[in-house]
Chain A
Amino acid sequence: MSTDIRIKKGLDIKLIGEAKQITTALPISSIYAIKPENFHGIIPKLLAKEKSEVKAGEALFFSKADDRVLFPSPVSGEVVEVVRGAKRKILEIKILADKSQQYQDFGKKDITNLSADEIKKHLLSSGCWPFIKRRPYDIIAKPDDTPKAIFVSAYASAPLAADYNYVLKGKEAELQVALMALAKLTTGKVHVSANSNSPFANLKGIEFHTVSGPHPAGNVSTQIAKIDPINKGEVVWVVSPQDLVIIGELLLTGKFNAQRIVALTGAQFNSPNYVSVLPGMKIKDIVADNLKNENNRIISGNVLTGNKVEEEGFLGYYDNQITAIPEGDDYELFGWLVPVFNKISTSRALIFSWLFPNKKYNLNTNMNGEHRAFVVTGAYEEVFPLEIYPMQLLKACLYYDLDEMEALGAYEVAPEDFALTEFICTSKQPHQQIIREGLDLMIEEIG
């Protein structure tokens, strides 16, 4: 039964610098890096030694909690350096890429003949497992779980997000195979939500839902809540569409090809467009001469949930977007008093964004105020479509009340669901961090 998902509560943050639908395939650059911190909650155990050669798809490390979960190298080359931080924590595994890429051969599979266990084993050994995330807690799925359903959101509503209909064009075969494989892993259904002209619309073996509305309509939690909400004790899995393509290609060709189309967006790009690259690529090699020569904030991901990276840093493992916006490290005279025309707000407190609903803004990274205690009430609810009391849940996380977190719906949320409330927060509280720490505490205490 397909559901028509329509969201009213939310906020589209319209920014300058939408990517033009032109894709450039960038050549293999020299250094790639995989950062274990991209995989939340995973403690890495190294498999690849420094100076050893790896092929694309060969495991670099595995999870300490479960040695079946392997994390592959996106490129073939030589492991040149394992960068460690305090207490010898592994920060980066750097790989010097070969000029011509060697792929580990995992063998073509005809999934119609494979059992669920065989598919699981195949995804685990080929390093595709980390693409599967689970709810509750928004972490990498546990291989022993059987989810009640699997959700794919192919509707990107985040600011300047890559257009899935564009980046998935022509990938129907890979998507179909991947979805058929995943369907065997769940007792329930595979739900895909997108708009009606998505490449998913005609695929078989899935429940297709149409989505419309402002951000966070594209957040998978929003869709889960409308389709089949998570109850205590239930597990669902979540996979992003571009990772499905990688899984599909693995099943069809036996190769782990992590190539993905990444949107370069934001006001600081001279020509925002799409590039085809491998994850872990050096930011500098991707953005090249495309950036304005100013004080830029480069974000691997979108402005709401992405991570700050330097030009010497690397593209995040899951990210399909790089955003560059101006830094806002300057003072503003009477910034709290004067009428504001160049920033966004949901209030009308002499901020006039309500007058220009279609204007595109050039927002910078200024906090626009200082951190304060929670004061204003009723504002979060305007941008929060889940049937959850956002401030009460945040406070429960802050005072570590596990029972209350559970009762208020912590199983149903991911940090990204609190990005908009964080954006509009008058008190500038770090909502996503609070939720992440709350969920981590639940993992530790409840599991």
Chain B
Amino acid sequence: MGLKQNLHNLKEKYKGTKMAPAFGALHTFLYTPNETTYSGTHVKSADDLKRTMNIVIMALIPTLIFGMFNAGYQHYLALGEIEAVSSGFFSSEFWAWSNFIIGFIKILPLIIISYGVGLGIEFIFATIKGHEVEEGYLVTGMLVPLIVPIDTPLWMLAVAVAFGVVIGKEVFGGTGMNILNPALTIRAFLFFAYPTWMSGDKVWVHGAVERAGTPDAISGETILGGLAQGNDALIDGANNLWNAFYGFIPGSVGETSTVLILLGALFLIFTKIGSWRIMLSSIIGALVMGFIFNSVVDAGIITSGSKFYGLMSLDFWQHLMIGGFAFGIVYMATDPVTGSQTNRGKWIYGFLIGFFSILIRVFNPAYPEGVMLAILLMNVFAPTIDHYVVQSNVKKRLKRLKAKTA
């Protein structure tokens, strides 16, 4: 008996009180409830929302751990204390404990703030409204630390999380009802409220901001940032390309390693939790847009004097490996609540995300990454896409009726 029985007794005690949702959330975390079916199907499949969300978190863990190593690696590399990686993905320069410790100390507080503030708000809303605490935030809370720059001040993150959860989700009715992806709402809030902390060449490497202006100043430019300035030194050459693919580059905490994101994507597709339709069509969309830009450059319409030349002339397939594109389409475009809900709609939705990501990436002078805005934009249009997809089904039915009565 023991713990299980004690918790059961507590549950009975709290039943019907204000405490019930909060207690239930903790209790069901430990034990799947003893609830049985009462009507409809008497047996149920083994999936529940906790399991589904947990699969996504599992797919994120490798990028989180990589992000911790990368934080330290970029820091020491900028300081000139270590050599750049030389022997592929498993280079000892990268996978060093000293690197990990820096990242761990910096990133753990981000995770704690993200979950603490976000879940706190969810608990409060659940208690006030008397419904269960839904699991949506489990994934959001893990995504948020991975898509912000390493040195983001904790208070800033807390404010953004509070904004994102309340305005992005709770006002619509909580998990399952929101229009915009909550994690991206949080990031967009940070981006527009504190732009100096979210772009430039100082924010991507731990320690760069506080050293700015001192003789010890360090910096780390992202590849995208470089290309936006017309500087392709960071991506030129096979070595740099491999680094971008492995993720040994500056960027937001967890989004740099394309190879680990790819593994995560395969895991999500295999478990049938993530939509392969969205991922694949996003990639196609990005390649198409990239290819169009390449053609424009090849045709001589844009010359090397143009400020768009750097990004436009980048080989179209290389777009997939830089910036937050891969991370965005694998973990955030696939959010089932804010994405398209019909299978055919998912193709259109994904394609447009990829297409607009590269478009915004190239033409937005202030901010060289487009995937966040592309996903948010398509979140808004997802219901419209679904509407037309569903209408085609409705029309088919009407046509059948007409053929019959004619």
- Which residues of chain A have a CB within 8 Å of any CB of chain B? 13, 15, 229, 231-234, 297, 299, 303-306, 308, 323, 325, 327-337, 340, 343-351, 353, 363-379, 381, 387-389, 391-392, 407-409, 419, 422-428, 430-433
Contacts and interface: CB of A to CB of B under 8 A. Distances in A.
A306 B393 CA distance: 31
A419 B343 CA distance: 21
Contacts of B305: none
Contacts of B35: 329, 366-367, 370
- What's the dominant secondary structure at chain A's contact region? loop
B301 interface: no
A244 to B, nearest CB: 27
Most chain A beta carbons < 10 A, residue from B35, B132, B400: B35
A48 to B, nearest CB: 29
Nearest to A426: B47
Given A231-B404, A332-B31, A426-B52, A375 B336 contact: yes
Contact of A368 (B48, B132, B396): B48
A378 B343 contact: yes
A350 B271 contact: yes
Given A334-B30, A387-B396, A367 B39 contact: no
Interface of B: 4, 7-8, 24, 28, 30-52, 54-55, 132, 134-136, 173-177, 270-273, 275, 277, 336-337, 339, 341-343, 346, 386, 390, 393-394, 396-398, 400-401, 404
Contacts of A422: 40-41
21 contacts: A231-B397, A329-B36, A335-B31, A348-B270, A349-B52, A349-B54, A367-B35, A368-B44, A369-B32, A370-B132, A373-B176, A377-B275, A387-B396, A388-B393, A389-B342, A392-B386, A408-B394, A409-B393, A419-B40, A426-B51, A428-B48
B111 to A, nearest CB: 18
A428 B45 CA distance: 9
Q: Which 8 A-B pairs have the closest CB atoms?
A: A369-B48, A335-B32, A373-B176, A336-B50, A343-B46, A331-B31, A363-B43, A231-B401
Contacts of B270: 348
Nearest to B391: A407
A347 B176 contact: no
Given A348-B270, A370-B132, A409 B42 contact: no
Contacts of A233: 401
Contacts of A364: 43
B320 to A, nearest CB: 24
Contact of A407 (B28, B135, B397): B397
Contact of B51 (A323, A350, A391, A430): A350
B272 A347 contact: yes
Nearest to A327: B36
A233 B42 CA distance: 34
B361 to A, nearest CB: 28
A404 to B, nearest CB: 9
Nearest to A323: B42
Contact of B45 (A329, A378, A423): A423
